Amino acid sequence: MKDKTLVIMAAGLGSRFGGLKQVEPVGPNKEFLIDYSIYDAKKCGFNKVVFIIKSENLQLFRETVGKRIEAQIEVRYAFQDIQEAIKEYNLPINRQKPLGTTQAILCAKDFVKEPFVVINADDFYGRKAFVDAANFIDRNPNDLGAVLYLIKNTLSDNGAVKRGICKIENGLLIDAVECSVYKKEDKIIANPLHQSYEIEVLENQAASMNMFVLNEGIFDLLEERMQIFIKNNKNNLDICEALIIEDLFAMIKSGQIKIKTLITDSVWYGMTYKQDKPLVKEAIANLINEGVYPKNLWNMTKN
């Protein structure tokens, strides 16, 4: 069994949710969505977790998630701080928001020397997704992969969500477009983030939830992509964001990497909007009743 690390991107502002949604309790003992992802990963053989957070949130994370899991799994904290990014990439001094998910993953490079899975902090991915990712690493430690979801299983009833609409050939990802996706009557509509048109997508369309299986070799390639991104956005450096899905597919198109696909039928739960929280809590309660998770999550995993 290969060493495996879980990298969790948790530096987002949570503006649409209205707060720091990464530490909103959804479980019966104040567990967060992050807890359930870590629990699933640990069950599947992951032995380290790296949180990518803002440095000012370190104490908050340690007092909540950290104190629950540090005795269960190795924990590291990497910081995605805008002031450091401003210095490193010569950004405008008035920039406020993080530089995007590509730069977030680069913040973890000093803590990751083995295959790793990267996820969002505010998404629930489901046990099967981690089982598939762990098996993929054990069988293909040098390969890259993407756990993809059926678009119908990733939508919010309360508004649009960002999803990567993917194209697959012979089990490999060949293209993806980051879109704002929402329900419109009985249709699913996707608006590419950098375009002004909309398209209808089928309910079984493969979509990315930013759950990728990567390895240490990706960091140098992502740093190259960041330099290209900064150059290409020199007139837009106050608000532009480097998105991991766009950079991965740029490298696919240039022939630098190949990404194998792992398509799951798991159902996504997340808190993009405040109105999503009751539905997420209900889903977690149902999984507890079905025996997927213990009622007191971490007290059941001390052995």
The per-residue pLDDT for range 258-269, each reduced to its tens digit, is 999 999 988 999
**pLDDT of the residue at 56:** 87
**pLDDT of the residue at 20:** 59
- CA dist., res. 35 & res. 298, Å (int): 9
The residue written with tokens 């295959």 in the block is 115
pLDDT > 90? residue 218: yes
pLDDT tier at 65, thresholds 50, 70, 90: confident
Cα 18 versus chain centre, distance:
19
Region 154-178: what's the mean pLDDT?
Answer: 91
Best mean pLDDT range from 62-76, 215-229, 232-246: 215-229
pLDDT > 50? residue 301: no
**pLDDT of the residue at 76:** 96
**pLDDT of the residue at 21:** 58
pLDDT tier at 19, thresholds 50, 70, 90: low
pLDDT tier at 57, thresholds 50, 70, 90: confident
- CA dist., res. 47 & res. 4, Å (int): 6
pLDDT > 60? residue 176: yes
Q: What b/e string do you get for 68-78 counting C-beta neighbours within 10 Å, with b at 16 or more? A: bbeeebebebb
- φ and ψ at residue 270, rounded to 5 degrees: -160, 170
pLDDT cut 90: percent of the chain above it: 69
Mean pLDDT of the chain: 90
**pLDDT of the residue at 300:** 46
The per-residue pLDDT for range 68-95, each reduced to its tens digit, is 899 999 999 999 998 999 999 999 999 9
pLDDT > 70? residue 299: yes
pLDDT > 90? residue 220: yes
pLDDT tier at 18, thresholds 50, 70, 90: low
- CA dist., res. 231 & res. 81, Å (int): 21
pLDDT > 80? residue 240: yes
Q: Which amino acid is at 82?
A: I
pTM of the model: 0.90
**pLDDT of the residue at 302:** 43
pLDDT > 50? residue 116: yes
Q: Which domains does the chain have, with CATH numbers?
A: 5-300 (3.90.550.10)
CA angle 204, 208, 211 (to 5 degrees): 130
**pLDDT of the residue at 148:** 96
pLDDT > 80? residue 103: yes
**pLDDT of the residue at 97:** 83
**pLDDT of the residue at 12:** 67
